[in-house]
Chain A
Amino acid sequence: NAGVTQTPKFRVLKTGQSMTLLCAQDMNHEYMYWYRQDPGMGLRLIHYSVGEGTTAKGEVPDGYNVSRLKKQNFLLGLESAAPSQTSVYFCASSTSKFYTEAFFGQGTRLTVV
């Protein structure tokens, strides 16, 4: 039972390069989230999705785009990476907005040089 799987686990990018982080869940969850974690800043919501084909902005959406073409996948894109996007990225999913826990992936450590 895989749960929430993030790909890749580590990546180093040069400033200006683009990349896509993939999150896949096998729990048939409706809601999916992308967070970034920086020292002393906790977990900040980037974008989220409440169902296939729908996405919404979170607290820190600038510089990122997302897509949810399939229910089980949630993609996070960086079109032109900047050093300020160096962070650990976590994907999470849950069954509904109330009364259920969020399941997290293992994280992607991204460094932009």
Chain B
Amino acid sequence: GQQVMQIPQYQHVQEGEDFTTYCNSSTTLSNIQWYKQRPGGHPVFLIQLVKSGEVKKQKRLTFQFGEAKKNSSLHITATQTTDVGTYFCAGRPISTGAGSYQLTFGKGTKLSVIP
């Protein structure tokens, strides 16, 4: 079945430093989504990428979708304490079979920001 791998599992950064998490799928994706989960909370949607090579920005966050639509990254510039949480990527396979309904999540990257 489809696998979505995410690295690193944990990242500790000093406030003001940059942060990047990477996501790789074993299969070609129709789209990829990114979610943030605050400690004790539930995942909340951040953004979706659909097109090959797509880049989107949300303030200090930059999201990229690979040319082959099998990998993605999230980069945070100048982290703040409000960025603390776990960031998940989630992808849907491009196939038209029953599996294409599934939204498969990576294991997430837990970000800690040291003030």
Contact = CB atoms under 8 A, between A and B. Distances in A.
Contacts of B44: 104
A64 B30 CA distance: 29
B42 A107 contact: yes
A31 B106 contact: no
Interface string B14-50: 0000000000000000110101000001111100101
Nearest to A42: B107
Contacts of A104: 42-44
Interface in B84-115: 88, 90, 92, 98, 100-108
Interface stretch (A15-23, A70-78, A93-101): A93-101
Main secondary structure of the interface of A (DSSP, over half): strand
Nearest to A106: B42
A50 interface: yes
Contacts of B103: 33, 45, 92, 94, 102
Given A104-B42, A105-B42, A42 B31 contact: no
A45 B102 contact: yes
B interface, how many residues as a size bin?
20 to 34
B9 interface: yes
A42 B108 contact: yes
Interface residues of A, number: 27
Nearest to B6: A42
Contacts of A102: 33, 35, 43, 45, 90, 103
B100 A59 contact: no
B104 A59 contact: yes
13 contacts: A35-B105, A40-B107, A42-B106, A43-B105, A92-B103, A94-B103, A97-B100, A98-B92, A99-B48, A101-B33, A102-B43, A103-B45, A105-B42
